[in-house]
Amino acid sequence: MYKGIIFDLDGVICFTDRYHYQAWKKLADERGIPFDEEDNKRLRGVSRMDSLDIILEKADRAYTDEEKARMAEEKNDTYRALLEQMGPADLSDEVRNTLRELRNRGYKLAIGSSSKNTKTILARIGLSDFFDAISDGTNITRSKPDPEVFLKAAEFIGEDPKDCMVVEDADAGIEAACAGGFDSAGIGDAAANAKATYRMRKFSDLLEIAK
């Protein structure tokens, strides 16, 4: 029934959502800004600068734009240092085999991620050349919950949103999918989102959803 499947990256294809959290946590702890796993949920799917603004809601002073730019850079440096540990073994067999089977079934497969580090991560886990299209933080002006990143992904694979499904772990991503006219499958935190078309317990559930 679907022609294309658009995957979020962090927290869907691989566990880099953990590294985002660790990098933000370090930055917040060093400045005495309260930040925990619960706060982190609001950061899923949103851009680096929007994430920083959410963290700074709990800061006890205001930060200038210049300070914020430096903080975002510092977080990204910490994050990229964590990415250096990653290799092809960090793509789980379950995700690899599911993606291959979906490809064999004839679906067009794309990435729709807010991250500007998407291509670095795909290279690390050995998926640089796998997807039919990559829409990421480098080709959008508005981050999720705006649908731009998914609409671009659909355009890149030449399919209409109504013929594509989005796979997401973030509430902001499910919102974005709805706003763009896409069906969506929620995994992790987003599995509890009432707006998701399908709820996944594990990545390979996609083989039941996309037959």
Footprint on this chain of ligand BG6 (rule: CB under 6 A): 9-10, 17, 20, 43-48, 51, 76, 113-117, 137, 170
Residue placing its CB nearer to Mg ion in the complex, 59 or 197:
197
β-strand pairing of 108-112 with 4-7:
parallel
User: Which positions ≥6 away from 165 have C-beta within 8 Å?
Assistant: 2, 4, 5, 6, 182, 183, 184, 185, 197, 198, 209, 210
Determine the Cα–Cα distance for residues 13 and 210; give it in Å rounded to an integer.
Answer: 17
Q: Choose among ligand BG6, Mg ion, none what residue 159 binds, the Cβ cut-off being 5 to 8 Å by kind.
A: none
Give residue for tokens 């600068």.
49
Closest separation in Å from C-beta 160 to ligand BG6: 24
Instruction: Establish whether 132 is a catalytic residue.
Output: no
Closest separation in Å from C-beta 23 to ligand BG6: 9
Residue placing its CB nearer to ligand BG6 in the complex, 29 or 160:
29
Instruction: Establish whether 136 is a catalytic residue.
Output: no
Residue placing its CB nearer to ligand BG6 in the complex, 170 or 191:
170
161 preceded by cis ω (within 30°)? no
Binding stretches for Mg ion (CB under 5 A): 8, 10-11, 169-170
Closest separation in Å from C-beta 97 to ligand BG6: 23
Determine the Cα–Cα distance for residues 202 and 11; give it in Å rounded to an integer.
Answer: 12
Active-site residue list:
8, 10
